[in-house]
Amino acid sequence: MTQQLTVPASRSRSRSKPESALILLVEDDPAQSTAVATALTARGHRVEAAATGMRALELAELIRPDIVILDLRLPDVDGGEICRKFLTVSNCSVIVVTGDALEARMVEILDRGADDYVLKPVSIDVLMARIRVAMRHLTATAALVEDQLLECGDLRLDVAAYQAIVDGEIVDVLPRQFDLLTALVRNVGKVMTYSALIRIVRGVDSPDDHLFPLRTSISKIRKSLGVGPERPVILTEHSIGYRLVAPGGG
């Protein structure tokens, strides 16, 4: 039986609507696609829908969406196969919606370029929360002063000088730790797998014996960053990797 998103009726709120995103919804079930598109539109977003992977890639190149919501089970191609292709035609975030809860499958999808995933059945409120995270990531990326100067909350990285500055003060971060932190800041809001992070600092895939030094490095980075209202936070995605969350993020 097809698993469905739970889409409650839209509720009015007194606060202003969040910034609108252009969303490409890739879903082959017509009823499901209509329900989700209606819910997202009611919440202020613009939605284009595609029922196949090939049509989705065509639309992505044409409209340059901010976010792609991608069902993995498509009639013409496996959704996981086209994750990375979206990034070649549009600077977008890819949120995978899937009923496949296998840990290995999640890691595979993230390694192929997806930024996030949600498991079916999922409520529209949960999906909206993930969209807000994706929008914060896109905003943070657009707000980078330049490629060699990165900012997230009160954290500032001078990539050329290998300096990490927190709340105006230079903090002590070793080169390997700096590389990890730079990767996390460049991908704020995204889940970065263990293997992706290890490839960044080692240039190799991730045998098990490399996980301990990675975890140790992340622990030292957290200690160096400290805590504060404008401080980004490194979250652990159990058995998968890490995610850097901007201040006020989810």
**What pLDDT score was predicted for residue 205?**
46
For the segment 66-77, what is each residue's pLDDT rounded down to a tens digit? 999 999 889 998
Asked if the peptide bond before residue 121 counts as cis, ω within 30 degrees of 0, the response is yes
Return the sign of the alpha-carbon dihedral for residues 68, 70, 76, 82.
positive
Sheet holding 116-119, edge to edge: 46-50, 22-26, 67-71, 93-98, 116-119
At the fourth CATH level, the homologous superfamily of domain 22-141 is Response regulator (3.40.50.2300)
From the list 48, 37, 46, the residue with the least C-alpha distance to 10 is 37
**What pLDDT score was predicted for residue 140?**
64
Phi, psi of 41 (to 5 degrees): -65, -40
CATH number among 3.20.20.70, 3.40.50.1820, 1.10.10.10, 3.10.110.10, domain 146-245: 1.10.10.10
CB burial string 81-91: b at 16+ within 10 A, e below: ebbebbbeebe
Cα distance between residue 226 and residue 79, in whole Å: 39
Q: Is 17 helix (H, G, I), strand (E, B) or coil?
A: coil
Q: Is 215 helix (H, G, I), strand (E, B) or coil?
A: helix
For the segment 96-144, what is each residue's pLDDT rounded down to a tens digit? 988 887 888 888 888 888 888 888 887 888 899 999 988 887 776 655 4
Cα distance between residue 6 and residue 198, in whole Å: 37
CB burial string 179-203: b at 16+ within 10 A, e below: bbbbbbbbbbbbbbbbbbbbebbee
CA atoms within 13 A on the CB side of 47: 21
Tokens representing residue 61 in the block: 């190149």
Domain chopping of the chain, boundaries: 22-141, 146-245
**What pLDDT score was predicted for residue 8?**
45
For residue 201, which amino acid is it?
V
**What pLDDT score was predicted for residue 210?**
61
Residue ranges for the chain with pLDDT beneath 50: 1-3, 6-18, 144-146, 204-209
Is the pTM of the predicted complex or chain greater than 0.85?
no
